[in-house]
């Protein structure tokens, strides 16, 4: 029955295959909205336009989001629906769709309406709105999370399959944690900001809420494209899911820098997730998070408060009565800041960024709690600022450091509340986060009671515009030269072994230490390696960076197939140490170095 239909992409596609119509799905979406009876979710109810769009779809045509209902935060333009940014006096009627919205509509998605938010996207609690405040879908006593409050609550109730939020300081992640949803905050510039009301334009991005990582990724893949009209849009490779690296190195806060604001259940939940990562084969590295917290504090000091002030503009002085009192208090403080303050903040950020990036050296991604603890509505009434700031502990630094993020529901805490962690990676590493997120996601899907199914199998072969490249040493995941691949948009496909007959050597020179793979007559063995998909557009740049005596050639795998990979010319083995007995570079690195013998020694 359609009343029981989960609004996930696979379920909707299956229902359409079975004969369900878009009109039936959209009618059910609004029936669910009416049944929830929360006037705070939507600022603009677009049911007439949505029903008309469903009727106009025509026969199913293979578009990836055909007939999929979604919601849009009301600081993002949808043609024919007013944009208010939760400030009625600011309202205007856009004639065109925001760039991202236009791409989703072109893919067949149907917009249900515009959702409530913290006014001008300023806040992480979701209660700074002149409209009725949306209720948290899991527990009405808890804040819904902001600023993308209505976007998260609407999906968590099963009204839409996904929604668009925005994220400057965590607005696309915190509401996900508070409502048991996935919150995908892409790399800055991956999703165009054209048609989005700015909060901090240098840090803003549109984000995606969904029930599963796979659904959020499908939406992101449709929405992502470089936009010539957006000065902050960046050209990233076409988004493709990447398998989890064979031994990902994941950074977590040290025990003494893990902040959970006294919430023992949150700390225990996070430790359980870290244990799951280790069990899945990850190498967990503890990192002092003090400099990351210092970056987070910068967001509401100096340059970036002034940027919010600039976004709101003359309204602060000419029409202050149109602003929410807390919004006015926060953004109004930027009026007294000077250009000197802004530059000092930029200098401090540059110094802290260098420290943070050094801490990330050799790390594939970070894993942190999405929020330190839950916050109640009563707490925010008593103190509108303090608890809001606390919610940003693990989110405020992310855009300042140009990281991508993925908030993932990962089960239920001991007290029954939803558990959530956020994975963070360097710009352009969104696919890596999704791979690990799919492995971690668990627990309730919002407040729907729907069962979470197994994640889809990830692709293990290259696309038509990619080249499969075998790496067997310092270019493998988590090792020092892996960035030479990932900076070119390469993605991990699978672990593998070479066919028997290869020998592995630790070459002379370095750092970094490098191996040489050589096929030789006589004894040899299969060598552990990884296969990465490298965009063909980046092959030339990659080849240019390969020093002698290494090069790319054909390597035979243990299944008989052949792939391009690193090989070493014979002259480069002079002075090298034969490490074939270890079976691979990682195992060699873990072993005492005296165990390997130089080429030409009696034991070689």
Q: Catalytic residue numbers? A: 73, 147, 171
Alpha carbons 447 and 152: distance in angstroms, whole number: 11
Say if residues 455 and 439 touch (Cβ distance below 8 Å).
yes
Residue in this structure with the two tokens 């603009």, named with its chain if needed: 44
Number of residues assigned to the chain: 604
Q: How far apart are the first and last CA of the chain?
A: 70
Total H helices, total E strands in the chain: 19, 20
Q: Return the bridge partners of 365, or none.
A: 250
Q: Is 226 helix (H, G, I), strand (E, B) or coil?
A: coil
Please give the C-alpha separations between residue 554 and each of 104, 253, 521, 585, in angstroms, as whole numbers. Answer: 42, 42, 16, 19
Task: Give the burial class of 247: count Cβ atoms within 10 A of its Cβ; 0-12 exposed, 13-18 middle, 19 or more buried.
Answer: middle
Helix (H, G, I), strand (E, B) or coil at 578: strand
Q: Rounded to an integer, what distance in angstroms lies between the CA atom of residue 406 and that of residue 441?
A: 11
Residues 477, 530 contacting (CB under 8 angstroms): yes
| Cβ pair 85, 197 in contact under 8 A | yes
* Cis before 604? omega within 30: no
Element (H, E) at 18: none
Cα within 13 Å of Cα(335), Cβ side: 14
Nearest to 177, CA basis, from 392, 6, 422: 422
Pairing type for strands 418-426 and 502-506 reads unpaired
Backbone Cα Rg of the chain:
26
Give residues with Cβ within 8 angstroms of 103, minimum separation 6. 222, 223, 225
The verdict on whether omega for the bond into residue 549 sits within 30 degrees of 0, i.e. cis, is yes
Inter-helix orientation angle 22-36/47-56, to 10° = 160
In angstroms, rounded to a whole number, what is the distance separating the alpha carbons of residues 415 and 600?
Answer: 64
SS3 328: helix
Q: What are phi and psi of 365, to 5 degrees?
A: -165, 165
């Amino acid at each position: 029955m359609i009343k029981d239909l989960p609004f996930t992409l696979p379920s909707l596609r299956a229902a359409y295959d079975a004969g369900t119509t878009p009109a039936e799905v959209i009618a059910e979406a609004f029936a669910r909205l009416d049944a929830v009876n929360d006037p705070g979710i939507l600022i603009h109810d677009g049911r007439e336009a949505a029903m008309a769009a469903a009727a106009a779809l025509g026969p199913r045509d293979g578009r990836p989001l055909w007939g999929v209902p979604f919601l849009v935060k009301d600081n993002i333009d949808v043609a024919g629906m007013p944009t208010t940014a939760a400030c009625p006096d600011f309202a205007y009627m856009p004639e065109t769709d925001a760039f991202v919205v236009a791409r989703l509509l072109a893919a067949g998605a149907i917009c249900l309406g515009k959702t409530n938010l913290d006014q001008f996207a300023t806040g992480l609690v979701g209660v700074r709105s002149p409209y009725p405040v949306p209720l948290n879908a899991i527990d009405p006593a808890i804040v819904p999370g902001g600023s993308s409050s209505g976007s998260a609550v609407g999906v968590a109730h099963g009204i839409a399959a996904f929604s668009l939020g925005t994220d400057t300081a965590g607005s696309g992640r915190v509401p996900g944690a508070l409502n048991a949803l996935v919150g995908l905050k892409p790399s800055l510039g991956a999703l165009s900001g054209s048609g989005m009301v700015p909060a901090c334009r240098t840090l803003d991005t549109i984000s995606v809420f969904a029930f599963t990582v796979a659904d959020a990724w499908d939406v992101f893949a449709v929405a992502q494209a470089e936009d010539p009209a957006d000065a902050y849009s960046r050209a990233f490779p076409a988004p493709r899911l990447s398998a989890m690296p064979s031994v990902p190195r994941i950074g977590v806060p040290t025990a003494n820098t893990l902040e959970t604001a006294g919430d023992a259940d949150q700390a225990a939940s996070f430790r359980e997730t870290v244990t799951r990562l280790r069990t899945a084969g990850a190498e967990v590295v503890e990192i002092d998070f003090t400099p990351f917290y210092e970056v987070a504090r910068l967001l509401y000091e100096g340059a970036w408060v002034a940027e919010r002030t600039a976004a709101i503009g003359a309204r602060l002085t000419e029409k202050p009565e149109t602003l929410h009192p807390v919004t006015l208090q926060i953004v109004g403080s930027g009026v007294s800041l000077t250009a000197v303050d802004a530059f000092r903040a930029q200098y401090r950020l540059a110094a802290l960024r260098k420290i943070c990036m050094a801490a990330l050296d050799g790390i594939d991604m970070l894993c942190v709690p999405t929020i330190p603890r839950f916050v109640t509505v009563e707490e925010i009434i008593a103190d509108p600022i303090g608890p809001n700031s606390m919610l940003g502990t693990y989110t405020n630094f992310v855009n300042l450091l140009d990281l991508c993020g993925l908030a993932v529901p990962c089960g239920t805490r001991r007290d029954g509340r939803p558990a959530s962690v956020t994975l963070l990676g360097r710009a352009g590493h969104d696919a890596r986060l999704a791979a690990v997120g799919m492995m971690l996601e668990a627990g309730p899907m919002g407040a729907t009671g729907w069962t979470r199914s197994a994640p889809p199998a990830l692709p293990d072969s290259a696309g038509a515009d990619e080249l499969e490249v075998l790496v067997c040493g310092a270019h493998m995941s988590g090792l020092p030269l892996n960035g030479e691949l990932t900076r070119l948009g390469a993605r991990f496909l699978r672990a593998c072994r070479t066919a028997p007959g290869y020998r592995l050597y630790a070459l002379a020179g370095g750092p970094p230490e490098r191996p040489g793979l050589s096929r030789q007559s006589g004894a040899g063995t299969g060598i552990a390696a990884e296969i990465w998909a490298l965009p063909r557009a980046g092959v030339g740049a990659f080849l240019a960076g390969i020093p002698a005596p290494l090069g790319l050639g054909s390597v035979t795998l243990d299944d008989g197939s052949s792939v391009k990979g690193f090989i070493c010319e014979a002259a480069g083995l002079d002075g090298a140490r034969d490490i074939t007995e270890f079976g691979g570079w990682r195992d060699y690195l873990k072993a005492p170095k005296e165990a390997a013998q130089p080429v030409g020694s009696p034991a070689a």
